[in-house]
Structure 1
Amino acid sequence: MAHARISMYMPPDIDPTKAAIAYGCRALPKLNEELQSPNLQTRQKALVALCDLMHDPEYVYEAINIGCLESLKTLLKDEDNLVRIKTTEVLYIMATHNVGRTGFLEHDIILALSHLLDDHQIVCRENLHQAYKHLAQLPAGARGIVNSGLIPSLVWNLHSEEEYIQEIILDTLAPCLQEDATEALDSHAVPCFKEKLQSENRQLRSKAARALIAISIPLEGKQQVWQHEVIPILVDLLLDPDEEVQGNVAGALMHAAVTTEGKYAALDVDAIAPLLELLCATTHSKVCLNTIKALTMLAEAPEGRRLLQPHLPTLRVFLQHKNEAIQRAAQIAIKVIEWKP
């Protein structure tokens, strides 16, 4: 006679949306075969299972070696929304690992992903921008994005994307512009960054200022920041309540004030007063360092030196700072302010 008994073991973990994973070394080859299946449900289940496995860099390495990236490139063109969403998710997860980023460069994933920049599925676009963001953290990855000609498209997407995706795009652009800012300057990136500086979203303000630092490295970038009247906005943001915004804005102002036009544009809007106020109020090393460097740039103008000479005691305090970079910056600032022709 049968009896009703409750097992002491947990029930099996069965997910009907996920493909069954084969045992051992057969797991990834089987999933790769299923990625190429003509059956839609089989492809979808394989992608869901692959998303779980790609969190492990060892599986990422094996997946690249057996040709999964080529299968995924094909699936980026799939007509099914879920397939494209899960494919971009797999690639995004792979891009969080160094081995995955290297694989992207070897298998031309950058351009393959770019075909979905205007995909109607917002999750697809978010995933691909996350993948680009992680790829750009690698210098070779940032160069790959620049060399693929994607900078104008990324700048253009800053006008149309949701705010949280705009933040990701700015994170991608900053390291890319450090490699080469030419295409961004030609694509009117500076006015776009200027617009984002005035956003109510503090993350957008901070990331836009960081992108301005990168685009201001070449002379043309410094000139455009002055020509598009970004400097008055930077000065206003020096007293922003967010420390990350303050640090990036001070850094952008420092770069912009390298040129004579930039120095006088900053002096014309009384940049020295908020810089000194920020310097006295902050304990944040990045804010402190960038603020001292910005003051040094302004001190190179005779008017700036004259205004800063009464404040030398304030700067001498930083000669004893625990951060050696801040000590050196203070030494240079004092030397420039005390210089006499």
Structure 2
Amino acid sequence: MAHARISMYMPPDIDPTKAAIAYGCRALPKLNEELRSETLLTRQKALVALCDLMHDPEYVYEAINIGCLESLKALLMDDDNLVRIKTTEVLYIMATHNIGRTGFLQHGVIIALSFLLNDFQTVCRENLHQAYKHLAQLPEGARGIVNSGLIPSLVQKLQVEEEHIQEIILDTLAPCLQEDATEALKSQAVPCFKEKLLSGNPQIRSKAARALIAISIPLEGKNQVWENEVIPILVDLLSDPEDEVQANAAGALMHATVTTEGKYAALDADAIKPLLELLCSTPTVKVCLNATKALTMLAEAPEGRMLLQSHVPTFRLLQMHRNEAIQRAAQIAIKVIEWKP
């Protein structure tokens, strides 16, 4: 005779928002079919399930091979907010893997994502910028973003986006500008970065200074930094309470002071004193190295060389630093300071 018994085991963990995942090799093909379903709930559940699977690079590899990227690109245009949000989330997770970034370049995902730059769903925009940020970590990815003509749009979005998204955009722009800063310079990126240097958010100040390092690599970038009077602000940031802000400000000055105009703009802003203070305040390796190189640039001007001659002992101490890069930078600084015409 049958008896009613209560099981001692917990009920199965079933998520009603997630599609049931098929067994073994059928898992991703089935989800890919469901991504193309005309039923909204089916598409939503498939995307939620896919978000979990894409944390594994092996699944990312398989998803790309069976055509999931094409399905996801189509879903970026979906009218449903949740579908677009979860689609950008899937792509963002895929972009955290090298195989995913490579797949983006091969399947035209960069342009497909760009159509959501003006999406009214903040989460959509945040996810797509996260995807771009991770893609830009790959040199080919940074070039892909540049070659897609997206730099002017990213610079424009930097001025209007929410603060936490601005941080992500700056992270994307820095490696892209190292590849090619031409479009950014044409898009008034330097005045935009200048404004961000004055932000109350230390992360934005630091990342804006890092972007200025990248945009100052070409001569035109150095000239624009000087013409837009960014150098005095960078000098002020040498006294910022955040080490990373100090380091990136010193790095930007190092590039901007390669030109004669940049050197004298920095000297007029009394850059030598705060740079020397950084050397004497037990800084991080990055702060010390960038400050030493910036001072070397200033020592190439006769006025700078004269001001630094009494501080040669400070650089001699740096020659005994545990970091070899700092040792070499200090040695070069001493040679420049002690050079006699």
* Same structural fold, with TM-score higher than 0.5 when normalized by the shorter chain: yes
List aligned pairs for 1:49-60, cutoff 5 A.
Answer: 49-60=49-60
2:296 counterpart SS class: helix
2:315 counterpart SS class: helix
Match of 1:242 in 2: 242
- C-alpha distance in 2, partners of 1:42/1:274? 61
Residues 49-98 of structure 1 deviation map (CA, whole Å, 9 limit, x = unaligned): 00000000000000000000000000000000000000000000000000
Match of 1:181 in 2: 181
Residues 13-56 of structure 1 deviation map (CA, whole Å, 9 limit, x = unaligned): 11110000000000000000000000000000000000000000
Match of 2:161 in 1: 161
Match of 1:37 in 2: 37
List aligned pairs for 1:174-213, cutoff 5 A.
Answer: 174-213=174-213
Matched, 1:145 2:145: yes
List aligned pairs for 1:275-286, cutoff 5 A.
Answer: 275-286=275-286
1:281 counterpart SS class: coil
- C-alpha distance in 1, partners of 2:16/2:67? 26
Match of 1:232 in 2: 232
In the TM superposition, residue 6 of structure 1 has moved relative to its aligned partner by 3.7
Matched, 1:10 2:10: yes
Match of 2:311 in 1: 311
The aligned amino acid for 1:76 is L
Match of 1:26 in 2: 26
In the TM superposition, residue 123 of structure 1 has moved relative to its aligned partner by 0.3
TM-score (norm. length: structure 1):
0.99
In the TM superposition, residue 282 of structure 1 has moved relative to its aligned partner by 3.1
Match of 1:253 in 2: 253
In the TM superposition, residue 238 of structure 1 has moved relative to its aligned partner by 0.1
1:282 counterpart SS class: coil
RMSD in angstroms over aligned alpha carbons? 0.8
Match of 2:171 in 1: 171
Does 2-11 or 62-71 show the bigger shift? 2-11
Structure 2, gaps ≥5 residues long: none
The aligned amino acid for 1:201 is N
1:251 counterpart SS class: helix
In the TM superposition, residue 10 of structure 1 has moved relative to its aligned partner by 2.4
Match of 1:81 in 2: 81
Residue-pair matches, total: 341
- C-alpha distance in 1, partners of 2:57/2:254? 40
- C-alpha distance in 1, partners of 2:269/2:282? 22
Residues 211-251 of structure 1 deviation map (CA, whole Å, 9 limit, x = unaligned): 00000000000000000000000000001000000100000
Match of 2:274 in 1: 274
List 4+ stretches of structure 1 deviating above 4 A: 1-4
In the TM superposition, residue 7 of structure 1 has moved relative to its aligned partner by 2.2
List aligned pairs for 1:98-117, cutoff 5 A.
Answer: 98-117=98-117
- C-alpha distance in 2, partners of 1:248/1:2? 75
Residues 120-161 of structure 1 deviation map (CA, whole Å, 9 limit, x = unaligned): 000000000000000000000000000000000000001110
- C-alpha distance in 2, partners of 1:60/1:37? 21
Matched, 1:68 2:68: yes
The aligned amino acid for 1:132 is Y
In the TM superposition, residue 279 of structure 1 has moved relative to its aligned partner by 1.1
The aligned amino acid for 1:171 is D
Residues 256-297 of structure 1 deviation map (CA, whole Å, 9 limit, x = unaligned): 000000000000011000100111013300000000000000
The aligned amino acid for 2:171 is D
1:270 counterpart SS class: coil
1:320 counterpart SS class: coil
In the TM superposition, residue 11 of structure 1 has moved relative to its aligned partner by 1.2
- C-alpha distance in 2, partners of 1:269/1:67? 57
- C-alpha distance in 2, partners of 1:166/1:274? 28
